[in-house]
Amino acid sequence: MTTVLRTEELRKQFGDLVATDDVSLEFDDQHVTSIIGPNGAGKTTFYNLLTGVLQPTSGEIWLRKDGDMTEITDAEPHEVARSGLSRSYQITNIFEGLTVRENLQVARIAHEGRTFDMRSRPDADEELNEEIDDLMELTNLTEIAETKCDTLSHGEKRNVEIALALAIEPSVFLLDEPTAGMNPTETEEIVSLIRELNRDIDATFIVTEHDMGVVTDISDRIVVLAEGAVLADGEPEAVLSDERVTEAYLGSETV
């Protein structure tokens, strides 16, 4: 078991508001970790710090890259992604005007560092498209490969969302509310997809999720955030029976 991602007293303040309060966490390469917490607990800010969208006020972020821990605290989003940390979005963020295949071509071209290649043609590139075919097989997109994304159903778009993030072969995969807006059937499908991915792919999974059923289903470890700080961290049973956790949740839900 090796550490692949580590934050050291990571802090983000917006004026007087402390959105991330000295969070120090380590993530290893074997477990699926869920980050939960009531609304406004700072999950999104934490993700934005990890992915370089926001710059921390203080603290450090380290990511394992080519076998060594490398500091990515000040890296820009594209540098973070190139270092092996990939994310999916809570509000679906895919290339709506392109087909599913084209979406994945974008990701593969970026991953292979061919963004300035003006000569070859992605459509005629068999190697590229075979990789994409495999990826679509894995994420149940084969049948809609040539469909433009703005005509897809919500559930299908969520699959594209995950496939995009996977296509850059991340070592750390952050899933932001993967079941957001899904019906029970779709939720079940995505849960089994995540399980399958965790088994087949050599990547660390970190998930934020509000559906407690899903959380207990997929997690090996749960981190609870409240008001930006780590409230509890450990195995699901221990964390969920922690009184402070129940209090934080009930407290917020009765408001």
Partner 1 sequence: MSTQNDGLVDRIGNVGRQAIGNGWTTERFALLGLLALVVVSVGPQFQVYLFTEFLIIALFAVAFNLLYGYTGLLSFGHAMFFGAGAYGLAIVLRDYQSAIAEIVGTGLAPLATFVVGGIAGVALALLIAIPVGYLSVRLEEIYFALITLAFGMLFYSLLLQDPYGLTNGSDGIFVALGGVELGGTEFRLAGRRIYYYITATVVTISIYGIWRIVNSPFGTICKALRESPDRAAALGINVSVHRWMTFIVSALFVSIAGVLIAGFSSVATPNEAHWSMSATPVVATVIGGASYFGGPIVGAFLYHYVRWGISRFPALEAYWELFFGIMLIVVVLYFKQGAAGGLAMVGAWLRNVQAAYDRGGANAATAFVRESIGEKLGSMMSRSTTGRSDDGGTDR
Does residue 124 bind partner 1 (CB under 8 A)? yes
Give the residue with the Cβ less far from partner 1, 42 or 170: 170
Q: How many residues bind partner 1 (CB under 8 A)?
A: 43
Out of 23, 35, 36, 109, the only residue in the binding site for partner 1 (CB under 8 A) is 109
Report the nearest approach of partner 1 to the CB of residue 122 (Å). Answer: 5
Does residue 145 bind partner 1 (CB under 8 A)? no
Cα(21)–Cα(10) distance, rounded to whole angstroms?
A: 7
Binders of partner 1 among residues 42 to 71 (CB under 8 A) are 51, 53
DSSP 91: S
Does residue 118 bind partner 1 (CB under 8 A)? yes
Does residue 78 bind partner 1 (CB under 8 A)? yes
26-34, 94-102, 220-228, 233-241 -> range binding partner 1 (CB under 8 A): 94-102
Out of 1, 121, 241, 243, the only residue in the binding site for partner 1 (CB under 8 A) is 121
Q: What is the DSSP string of 112-175?
A: TT-TT--SS-GGG-HHHHHHHHHHHHHTT-GGGTTSBGGGS-HHHHHHHHHHHHHHT--SEEEE
Gyration radius from the chain CA atoms = 19
The burial of 63, by beta-carbon neighbours within 10 Å (0-12 exposed, 13-18 middle, 19 or more buried), is given as buried
Cα(208)–Cα(108) distance, rounded to whole angstroms?
A: 25
Report the nearest approach of partner 1 to the CB of residue 181 (Å). Answer: 18
CB 23 within 8 A of CB 7: yes
Does residue 126 bind partner 1 (CB under 8 A)? yes
CB 145 within 8 A of CB 136: yes
Does residue 89 bind partner 1 (CB under 8 A)? yes
1-9, 64-72, 137-145, 147-155 -> range binding partner 1 (CB under 8 A): 147-155
Give the residue with the Cβ less far from partner 1, 1 or 91: 91
Return the exposure string of 42-61: e unless at least 16 CB atoms fall within 10 Å of the residue's CB, then b: bbbbbbbbbbbebebeebeb
Q: Are strands 172-176 and 85-88 parallel, antiparallel or unpaired?
A: parallel
Residues in contact with partner 1 by the rule CB under 8 A: 51, 53, 76-78, 81-82, 86-87, 89, 93-98, 102, 105-107, 109-111, 114-126, 148, 150-151, 164-165, 167-168
